[in-house]
Amino acid sequence: MSYHHLNTFKRTRIEVLSKTGSSTRQIAGQLNRHQQAITCELKPIHTTFYQIGWQRN
């Protein structure tokens, strides 16, 4: 199995379709990608870092 990164065009398309109310399944079908790839792309990347915060002593 090989993995192909999403290009900028597809990432932008995912964002637009998501904001207009399309489900991850619908987006995946339109872009010919697996639903999980779309779900991962829509998840915030650094949520843990920002939620915990870093403190200096």
The count of other CB atoms within 10 Å of the CB of residue 47 is: 9
User: Does pTM top 0.85 for this prediction?
Assistant: no
Q: Is it the case that residue 52 has pLDDT exceeding 70?
A: no
Chain segment 5-25, per-residue pLDDT in tens: 889 999 999 999 999 999 999
Q: What is the mean pLDDT of residues 27-55?
A: 78
Residue 26 has pLDDT above 90, yes or no: yes
Question: Residue range 37-48: average pLDDT?
Answer: 77
d(CA 15, CA 38): 10
| DSSP structure class, residue 43 | S
Give alpha helix (H) positions in the chain: 8-19, 24-31, 35-42, 47-52
